[in-house]
Amino acid sequence: MDVQDRVRAVIEPLLTPLGIELFDVEFIGGGAGSGRSQVLRVSVDRDGGVDLDTIAEVSRVVSPALDALFETDTAVRGRYTLEVSSPGVERPLRTPAHFRRVVGEMVSIKTHEEIDGERRHRGVLQRVDDDGIVLEAGGAERRLDFGQIAAARTVFEWGPAPKPGKQPHPRAQAKV
């Protein structure tokens, strides 16, 4: 079991009762015994998103459990810095569950090898199954197996800014 799996096993049971999903775990840095500080990045999410109060609550809840893990588990022993955040608007996609949550959205994919002459693929995520995804780009669908994907993320597209003194278009206004 790698470090990320150990961390997941410790903190997921603490977050689930709070209605908070452990989105991702990244462990970066020196490693046990190197003397260098390690960074443990924990991304959390929930319906409606997370705010600073949620981030603070997660830090308060998981810190004691992680401290105990880092004191006793030789694979992760040592100093570490805990960073808790939301996955952000351009969130990484690492698991099939991550992909399933963003069906219908624009995604950017980098593959290990060229597929149809390209390593970078951008399009609307159409479908996800246990083996991979289907993107629609330029009117054509492209299937990518999970094993072909090196990195993936959602793409946030900015809309045009309203001109000074102009009211936004009525369809752009939130409905009450």
Residue 47 identity: D
CATH number of the CATH domain containing 125: 2.30.30.180
The pLDDT of residue 145:
95
CATH number of the CATH domain containing 78: 3.30.300.70
Predicted confidence (pLDDT) per residue in 92-110, tens digit:
998 898 899 899 999 999 9
80 & 14 share domain:
yes
Asked if residue 169 is part of any domain, the answer here is no
81 & 108 share domain:
no
Asked if residue 176 is part of any domain, the answer here is no
Dihedral angle over CA of 127, 129, 131, 137, nearest 10: 0
The pLDDT of residue 170:
52
Asked if residue 109 is part of any domain, the answer here is yes
81 & 112 share domain:
no
Asked if residue 90 is part of any domain, the answer here is no
pLDDT confidence of 17, banded at 50, 70, 90?
Answer: very high
In sequence order, what are the beta bridge partners of 19?
none
Could you give the CA distance from residue 56 to residue 110 in angstroms, rounded to a whole number?
33
CA-based nearest residue to 41, from 21, 65, 24: 24
Q: Do residues 20 and 46 lie in contact, with contact meaning Cβ atoms separated by under 8 Å? A: yes
Q: Cα dihedral sign for 135, 173, 54, 19? A: negative
Structural domain range at position 140: 96-154
Predicted confidence (pLDDT) per residue in 41-61, tens digit:
999 998 888 999 999 999 999
Predicted confidence (pLDDT) per residue in 134-172, tens digit:
999 888 899 999 999 999 999 988 777 666 766 555 555
59 & 116 share domain:
no
72 & 145 share domain:
no
Could you give the CA distance from residue 124 to residue 64 in angstroms, rounded to a whole number?
41
75 & 141 share domain:
no
Last residue of a domain, one of 51, 85, 119: 85
114 & 137 share domain:
yes
The average pLDDT across 27-51 equals 77
Alpha helix stretches (DSSP H) within the chain: 3-15, 52-72, 96-101
Q: Do residues 106 and 123 lie in contact, with contact meaning Cβ atoms separated by under 8 Å? A: yes
The pLDDT of residue 176:
36
Asked if residue 167 is part of any domain, the answer here is no
Structural domain count of the chain: 2
Q: Do residues 137 and 155 lie in contact, with contact meaning Cβ atoms separated by under 8 Å? A: no
pTM equals 0.68
Asked if residue 163 is part of any domain, the answer here is no
pLDDT confidence of 16, banded at 50, 70, 90?
Answer: very high
